[in-house]
Structure 1
Amino acid sequence: MSEFSTKGRMHFMVFTESFDVTVMCRFLARVVGHFDRNHLIVDRHSAHHSKTVRAWLADHQDEIELHFLPSYSPDLNPDKLVNADLKRRLPHTHRARNRTGLASETRRLFHLRQRQPHIITSYFKAPHVRYTLDE
């Protein structure tokens, strides 16, 4: 999972378990404080709008806000460009032979991206995610 800004900052969390409300709340707790106010664009995954996540967000409403994409619109999700970047790069550098190795390689690539803000900002220049630049 990742959070990134139009100014090229990126924060991420690699997890190997199934994505659920526990993982979502753990990610939210990690990203709070990275920016003055966090605005996360999320899809309609059940964990994103679960009762547990809504309660967590209510306790942190001055720090973070979720913005839900319309149903069935993955093309509008800027995070999909991060995932595509990861999938494009890993075959060239992939040395992992198991889940732990893949998580390690993912962290390595994302740490590299954190030092390349020009690539992070390029995610927002795709025509279908330009709406995110209206800050």
Structure 2
Amino acid sequence: MSAISTRGRMHFMVFTESFTAEVMCRFLHRLVGYFGHKVHLVADGRSAYRSKEVRDWLAAHPDDVELHFLPPYSPKLNPDELVNADLKHSLPKQHRVRDQAELAAEARRFFRRRQR
């Protein structure tokens, strides 16, 4: 999962479990820690973003994060979709990852390179 700031700085979190509202709240908590001001996060319509757990987290942190939703099915408006596509094309072609841990390590390497 990643977020791109208006200044082009990328923040990311690699996780191996299923994407749930709990994972989203963990990402929001980490994201807030990077900034000293309110974060306006633009997201697509994924159900985890609209879950009660995420809404409760946002209600408890109104001065930290505000979520803004893109129109339904609008991947061209979401710059993070370009990052996802780049990740898929950047994974090693000759070497297939053997397990989830190796895939997570490759994803972290990719995101660190993109951050630089």
Secondary structure, aligned partner of 1:91: coil
Normalization by structure 1: what TM-score?
0.78
Whole-Å separation in 1 of the counterparts to 2:23 and 2:110? 21
Which structure ranks higher in relative contact order (CA pairs < 8 Å, sequence separation ≥ 6)? 1
C-alpha separation in 1, matches of 2:96 and 2:32 = 32
The share of aligned pairs that are identical, in percent, is: 64
For residues 91 and 74 of structure 2, the distance between their equivalents in structure 1, rounded to whole angstroms, comes to 25
Distance 1:93 1:68 in 2: 38
Matches within 5 A, 1:55-66: 55-66=56-67
> How many pairs align?
115
The AA in structure 2 aligned to 1:61 is P
- Give the structure with the larger helix fraction: 1
Paired with 1:18 and 1:76, the residues of 2 have a C-alpha distance of 25
Task: Show the counterpart of 1:107.
Answer: 108
Aligned to 2:5: 5
RMSD of the TM alignment (CA)?
1.5
Could you tell me how far apart the structure 1 residues matched to 2:6 and 2:88 are? 21
Equivalent residue for 1:21? 21
**Superposition pairs for residues 89-104 of structure 1, below 5 Å?**
89-92=90-93, 96-104=97-105
Output the amino acid matched with 1:72: Y
TM-score relative to the length of structure 2: 0.90
Q: Is the 8 A contact 1:3 1:10 kept in 2?
A: yes
Q: Is the 8 A contact 1:15 1:103 kept in 2?
A: yes
State how 1:54-133 maps to structure 2 within 5 Å.
54-92=55-93, 96-115=97-116
- 1:43 alignment counterpart: 44
- Runs of 4+ displaced beyond 3 Å: 91-95
Distance 1:93-1:6 versus aligned 2 partners, 3 A rule = farther
- Matching residue of 1:121: none
Structure 1: stretches of 5+ with no match in the other structure: 116-135
Q: Distance in 1 between matches of 2:85 and 2:94?
A: 15
Question: How far apart are the structure 2 equivalents of 1:2 and 1:19?
Answer: 13
Which moved further from structure 2: 92-101 or 45-54? Answer: 92-101
Report the Cα offset of residue 17 of structure 1: 1.0
5+ residue gaps, structure 2, are none
